[in-house]
Structure 1
Amino acid sequence: MDVLVTGGTGRLGGHLVPRLRDAGHAVRQMSRRGTGPGGVRGDLATGFDLRTALAGAEVVVHTASDPRGDPWQVDVAGTRRLVEAVDRDRLRHLVYVSIVGVDRIPFGYYRAKFAAEQVLLASGLPVTLLRVTQFHDFVDELLSAARRGPVLPVPMGWRVQPVDVVEVAGHLVDVVAGPPAGAVVEYGGPEDLTVAELARAWAGARAPGAHVVATPVPGRMSSAVRDGAALPGGGARGRRSYAEHLRA
């Protein structure tokens, strides 16, 4: 099929695009600059060149996001622009990559992702909303940034189920080939772990001597994560553990 991937040069898109090509699809990757093999220009924040980029696409895999900027402009308004620009006569499936817990964790970026989901569900398009858990290498980045010399402070009791980004890309290839779910489906890693357990594993492999300190964090968001809001309730699971990721 003719597949367009938004955010094709990002953390997930970089693994997804070659796997879609290996599966026999004709793949274009959309970004603001249109760089890379099969690159086309399209800007979700302004709508510039979106209709041209989306012309003829039978499948759209929407992975683009702006967690460090303005997700309401890119993730929400940008998704609305995407819906308006798709070729409805050609489109067979639109797969949106979201995050497990966006409907339960009161965090600004998550609220934007949940709002983008609602745009798609109300669009009348053949959609699948794939919520995934945090990627292993994203966990690495968070723990590295949290370290303060010999001390690694982490929130007490937070529970997560991180997943390998390569396995997510492989699962997405299967989702693309399947029928639209018309609803939310989930995909997570194989293990329910506390952040403190992840931090101790990370410190043992990447920062020997770092002392993990689990600290109570107040607030509604922290309470939600402690209560399991970031854990998938169903769906398929990856196989690669965080420990295996660290060993690699």
Structure 2
Amino acid sequence: MTTIPVTGGTGTLGRQPADRLRAEGNDVRVPSRHSQPYAVDLRDGTGLDAAVAGVDTIVHCASTPRGGDDTAAGHLIEAAKRAGVPRLAYISIVGVDRLPLGYYTVERRVERMIEDSGLGWTILRTTQFHDLVLRIPDGAARLPVMPLPAGVRMQSIDTGEVADRPAELAVAGPAGRVPELGGSEVRELTESARACLRATGRKRRILPVRLAGKAYAGYRRGEHPTPERAVGKATFEDFLAQRFGRPERSE
């Protein structure tokens, strides 16, 4: 039996590979600030030594746009070294080396820290999740007119499909940078917004807005999709139908 801690194992992504690994007979630890017996605070490293003691590999899914992922990764790497953990698998984001966005800059820094750690490592980059894409039009729909960034394309993917891959990588040997995972199609954000409106039965006018800044320019250049790796099966419409309990119809 393989012993595997999954950081972020209570979150949107981490919960699913943790469940898959557990169902396959592995001893899965889910360290978090309120999890016993492995109460861990990645922000200061509290509890990490106990959480990684005697483990075979670590799956690192914990991440937050609020900042501090590099600090958390530093604590995790040092704890892994002290414990003699042979390998670490990290879930990153497509475009972190291209898109000039603060959150992406930190995620790329985390990748480099892992690559230079001396541990055996595997890094998997994925495109944005359907859940994240839904939040954009869902939030904008609170207004009578939906303002959305113009010319931005997304390639969202189902978290369940992403979760299968970390579970596989966790029990395999270090593989370095593995092929990226992208959703089934690249589409305009405004198209996804219209699908969201149809699925929820709301009626709004969509207002595409051109924004300023390097990050927005990067989005318009398409620095974050990976069309050559469109391996996802579940479409955004499939996700909406499951979420809202009604089939999504084309206009």
TM-score by length of 1: 0.91
Distance 1:190 1:91 in 2: 35
The alpha carbon displacement at 1:13 in A equals 1.6
Calculate percent identity across the aligned residue pairs. Answer: 38
Distance 1:95 1:104, change over 3 A: same
Amino acid at match of 2:9: G
The alpha carbon displacement at 1:29 in A equals 0.4
Q: Secondary structure of the equivalent of 1:65?
A: coil
Q: Secondary structure of the equivalent of 2:176?
A: coil
The alpha carbon displacement at 1:236 in A equals 6.8
Distance 1:123 1:242, change over 3 A: same
TM-score by length of 2: 0.90
Match of 2:168 in 1: 174
Match of 1:159 in 2: 153
Amino acid at match of 1:41: A
Q: How many residue pairs were aligned? A: 241
Match of 2:111 in 1: 117
The alpha carbon displacement at 1:218 in A equals 2.1
* Selected match of 1:42 from 40, 43, 46: 40
Map 1:1-248 to 2 at 5 A. Answer: 1-35=2-36, 40-68=38-66, 71=67, 73=68, 75-86=69-80, 91-183=85-177, 185-232=179-226, 234-235=228-229, 237-248=231-242
Contact kept, 8 Å, 2:53 with 2:83, in 1: the verdict is: no
CA RMSD, aligned part only?
Answer: 1.8
Distance 1:234 1:94 in 2: 26
Q: Secondary structure of the equivalent of 1:162?
A: coil
The alpha carbon displacement at 1:177 in A equals 2.8
The alpha carbon displacement at 1:97 in A equals 1.1
**CA deviation vs aligned residue, 1:115-171 (integer Å, no higher than 9, x gap):** 111100110111111111111112112221122422111111111100001111112
Distance 1:98 1:234 in 2: 18
Structure with the higher strand share, 1 or 2: 1
Distance 1:125 1:175, change over 3 A: same
**CA deviation vs aligned residue, 1:31-57 (integer Å, no higher than 9, x gap):** 01215xxx5111111111111111011
Deviation beyond 3 Å, 4+ runs, structure 1: 87-90, 233-236
Match of 2:245 in 1: none
Distance 1:153 1:224 in 2: 19
Gaps of 5+ in 1: none
